[in-house]
Every structure is written in structure tokens, then in C-alpha cells.
Amino acid sequence: MKKNILFFTTALFVLFAASCSAPAKKETAFPEEVTISIEVLKDKIKGGWAGQTIGCTYGGPTEFKYRGAIIHDYQNMIWYDDYIYETFIEDPGLYDDVYMDLTFVEVIERLGLNAPVDSFAVAFANADYKLWHANQAARYNILNGIMPPASGHWRNNPHADDIDFQIEADFIGMMTPGMVNTGSAYCDRIGHIMNYGDGWYGGVFVSAMYSLAFISDDIHFVINEALKTIPSQSRFHKSISDVIKWHKQYPNDWKQCWFEFEKVHASEKGCPEGVFNAFNIDAGLNSAYVVIGLLYGEKDFFKTMDISTRCGQDSDCNPATAAGILGVMGGYSSIPDFWKPALEKVEDLDFPYTSISLNRIYDLSLEHALELVNLNGGKSDANSVTIKTQKPAEVRFEESFTGLYPKERRPFNKDLYDENIVVNFDGTGVVVMGAVKRIAGNDNDYVAIMEASLNGEVIETFNMPFDYIKRKYDIFHLYELPKKEHQLTIVWKNPHPDFRIHNKDVVIYSNEELKPFNPTIQ
């Protein structure tokens, strides 16, 4: 294994004495500058992309099959030398972790580092790949004239706190080595295309951990410094802080840490699929699983990836992030040889839905990183790069779904043709889940026209394409209503005999938290 040597112009480590009687404790100081060789920088970038790809593939078979449950140790995982190649061919949608990043890299390569945010938005909205949750809601918004940052705002996107930007911020951290705040600025622009609040913070935090992994091999330093970018009053900050606390309390038992986390943080507020359900795609929860893997993995590549997977929920994205960060920290050269044959079989293949291969992205990320280093007070030559590092600065405070509390989930699960969707509710918000369903024919271009009325007054007419790529992720949502009895009516204006409107569930919100059920008669 080749060691990566970091040359600091200021000391990386300083000693502090806790007391006269206690032994000196070694803490990591923040360097003002870091000088590394170009060879080491590229090895770290390669390790980040390789780790992300390996981690995503490793956790793929368990994605959202374990919701609020640990994947126990006796359950074996799959791996063999053709595994990544076969997944590329048979399940390309698994790699949304990577092809979304590469879409944004393609925009930078085409338009430069200062590409306008609308170019990033239009590129992914018009791409041929499938999307889900905040990404798909944002894609629909953009295709229907709601551009960023409105496309990711929770009033327009019920999935604003979901994991989406968290799994798409890797490329930002990998092109901003040691330059955390430059990364946060990119996160501000790109992350608000599809997310807001905690959903945005997931990407800011991940980008910062990648950035810091270039300049430190202390996993605790990387996590704690990255957390400084997140406002302390946010729910996201609380989630990660609690993981750090419970790791200290249970340093040898990641399952106990996981259990303590679940007791406090497992409930979903935003994503309607997760409300009153074991499903949880919230960025705060899934970022916590990344941190559990990093802390308890103790810099062991397999152990880190495996623990992040076995935490459950989005169990392909979380090991992809954890393994990517560890891959940057140690470089590609530190990834055990066991994992490399599978990766080598696809390094020259373009990632699904992109024109960029792994070998190409290694070079592109290096080019972008060197350009940004030079633009931010550093310097580089043919052999080495000196990075002017940035101490993490806190980004602004945002909170999604303010003043809203889940009140009720009503299962409908009904295909509608000649009847309206009618929801009578007492509350301040409502989300109607569902989609256009084809029962005959082969028309993929059909677009249902829907009209929503609240309390007898038409408030919106909107399209629902059958096309899965262009679909509306939820039928309808509306927040911040006055607290009173409402009647929501949704009328299908152009019914077609080959199609139905599938009304799944309805989630009702109030402006007050539900009180625990107590059948005791006072």
C-alpha cells in the first residue's frame, strides 16, 4: 500500500494537556495551507469516485428493503468480479448516485466553473434517466416553468428534505479539496434546484466531508469540521451531533448507537411516503447512517461500507457516500485489492445515461480541482499543488415545512376514471399521492389535465404526464392553509379509456403536534 504524504506549511497536530495529571491529548489543528503531489491528489480523486461506485453497487440489493430495521450480520452480501459490470447493464438506474453528479460535471465541462444554475437545472430535467422524490418533483417543476431555487423549495416540492442532493454533492467536494466554503457556494446554487432546508444541508455536509478528507486522515476531525457548516439550530445538525454523542457513549456497539438514533430521529415529516410509515428517505437520517459507518468503520474500507449498508433505508446511497469519503482520505491505492477487479471491468465504460467513464471523471475532477485551487489563492505546477485551505463557515439557516405537523394518513389505493378525488379534512396542509396508470393501449405521450378546487374555488389546473420520466411525483399538495374544515376536489378534465388516475394515499397536516393517544377517561 502506498502512503499518501501531506506536506503542511503549518503544523497539522498540536498537543493539549487536559489536566496536570491526565496524559496529553492529540488534537488536529486546521492547517492554513496544504501541499501535496499531483499524483497523490489524483489518487485521492480516483479513490473518491471508485469508493462511491463500489459502495453503491455493494448496497444496491438491499435498498429500502430494510426500513427502520438493521440488516443483521448473518445476512450475507453479494460480491464477485463481474458484479459492477452486470449491474451497469441490468440495473443502470441504481447509479443515480453517480450519473446525477456526472450530469453536473458535464455542464461544468461545457460551460465552465461559473455555469449558470439554470443550465444545471435544464440538463438534469431533460435527461433520459429515471428520477425519484425531490429530484423528480424538481424535474417536473422545471419542465413546467418553476425554476430554481423555487423548484426545490418545500412549498413547491414535498420532498425538499429528502436525500437527493446529499447523493449528488460528491463531485463538489472532490473538486474543492480543502476549500470547504467554495464547495458550500456551489451547494447553494445546485442544491436548491431540488432541495431545501435539511435536504440542502445533506449535500453541504457531504461536500464538506469530501473536501476535508483531502487534507486530513482523522475521521473525527473531518466529521466535526464538516458539521460546522450546518446551523446548530437545525434538525440536521441535531441528528449528526447525536450520532457523535452516542458513538462516544457506545464506542464498540454501532447497533446501540443506531437504536438510540432511531428512538429520537426516525419519524418523517416531509416526504409523504414516509409519514406514518417505516419508510424514511430524509437527508438527516441517511446522513446519520453515513456518519455511523464512518465512525464505527474506523477507516477500514469494508467495515465502513458494510455498517452504512446495514443501517438500512437508503442502503446503496449511504455506503456509496461513506466509501467515497474514505476513498478520498486514503486514495485509490488504499482500497483493498479485493474490490478492484470488479471496478476495472467498467472503468472505460460510460456511466449509464452519460458520456463520461470513470477514467474520464478521474481526469475531469482533477482538472476542475486544480482550476479552483488556483482561483482561490493556491497554486500548482506539474508536480505539486498548494491548497489555501478554508475553515468551514456556517451556511444560512433554512427549515422546511415550518409550522406543519403530520396529522393523518388516509389510504385510498383506488383507480379512478369517472369520479373525482374528494378529500374533506380539518387541517393546514394536504398531499395527495398517486399517478397516471395505463390499463390498455401503448400511448406513452398521454397527459392528463387535472383541475384542483378548494372549498368550491378553482385554485390550480395542472398536467400529469403518463411518461415516467416526465411524471408528476405526487398528484397535488398544498400547505399553509388556515386551520379549519376544507374540501379539496380534483377533477380529471380529459379522461381517456386507456388510462386511470391511481389515488394512493392522502396525508393531512395540522399546525399542532398530535398528542400521544391516551384512552384513560379523566
Within a domain: residue 205?
yes
Residues 451 and 357 reside in one and the same domain? no
Give the pLDDT confidence score for residue 516 in this predicted structure. 82
pLDDT confidence band for 514 (50 / 70 / 90)? confident
Pairing of strands 405-416, 476-478: unpaired
What is the pLDDT averaged over residues 441-468?
A: 97
Is the pLDDT at 202 greater than 50? The verdict is yes
Beta strand residue intervals within 99-252, DSSP E = none
pLDDT confidence band for 485 (50 / 70 / 90)? very high
pLDDT: which is higher, 454 or 3: 454
CB-count exposure of residue 278 (10 Å: 0-12, 13-18, 19+) = middle
Taking the C-alpha atoms of residue 159 and residue 134, their distance in angstroms, rounded to an integer, is 5
Q: Which helix (H) or strand (E) holds 503?
A: strand 499-510
Pairing of strands 429-438, 457-465: unpaired
Each residue's pLDDT tens digit, 380-427: 999 999 999 999 999 999 999 999 999 999 999 999 998 999 999 999
Residues 413 and 365 reside in one and the same domain? no
Residues 351 and 412 reside in one and the same domain? no
What is the pLDDT averaged over residues 426-444?
A: 97
Residues 418 and 272 reside in one and the same domain? no
Q: Which domain holds residue 316?
A: 32-98+161-182+197-388
Give the pLDDT confidence score for residue 2 in this predicted structure. 33
Within a domain: residue 138?
no
Each residue's pLDDT tens digit, 237-249: 999 999 999 999 9
- Domain boundary residue, one of 388, 423, 454: 388
Provide the grid cell at 178.
480543502
Residues 369 and 488 reside in one and the same domain? no
pLDDT confidence band for 7 (50 / 70 / 90)? very low
Provide the grid cell at 270.
416531509
For residue 220, the domain's CATH number is 1.10.4080.10
Residues 372 and 451 reside in one and the same domain? no
Give the pLDDT confidence score for residue 1 in this predicted structure. 35
Residues 252 and 340 reside in one and the same domain? yes
Domain count for the chain: 2
Contact 475, 487 (CB under 8 A): no
When the pLDDT of each residue in the chain is averaged and rounded to a whole number, the result is 93
Which SS3 state, helix, strand or coil, does residue 97 take? Answer: helix
Within a domain: residue 105?
no
Residues 252 and 360 reside in one and the same domain? yes
> pLDDT over 90 for what percent of the chain?
90
Within a domain: residue 287?
yes
Give the pLDDT confidence score for residue 515 in this predicted structure. 84
- Domain boundary residue, one of 388, 415, 434: 388
Taking the C-alpha atoms of residue 493 and residue 215, their distance in angstroms, rounded to an integer, is 58
Give the pLDDT confidence score for residue 24 in this predicted structure. 45
Beta strand residue intervals within 355-513, DSSP E = 379-380, 384-388, 405-416, 421-427, 429-438, 447-454, 457-465, 476-478, 484-492, 499-510
Within a domain: residue 315?
yes
Within a domain: residue 6?
no
**Region at 509 (left for phi over 0; alpha for psi -120 to 50; beta for the rest):** beta
Contact 255, 232 (CB under 8 A): no
* DSSP secondary structure code for residue 457 in this structure: E
Within a domain: residue 383?
yes
pLDDT confidence band for 26 (50 / 70 / 90)? low
Each residue's pLDDT tens digit, 89-105: 999 889 988 999 999 99
Residues 274 and 239 reside in one and the same domain? yes
Give the pLDDT confidence score for residue 521 in this predicted structure. 56
For residue 461, the domain's CATH number is 2.60.120.260
Within a domain: residue 128?
no
Residues 444 and 501 reside in one and the same domain? yes
Is the pLDDT at 195 greater than 90? The verdict is yes
Taking the C-alpha atoms of residue 381 and residue 39, their distance in angstroms, rounded to an integer, is 12
Nearest to 342 by CA among 355, 358, 356: 358
pLDDT: which is higher, 218 or 6: 218
Give the pLDDT confidence score for residue 27 in this predicted structure. 64
Taking the C-alpha atoms of residue 278 and residue 274, their distance in angstroms, rounded to an integer, is 6
Is the pLDDT at 21 greater than 50? The verdict is no
Residues 224 and 304 reside in one and the same domain? yes
Residues 371 and 497 reside in one and the same domain? no
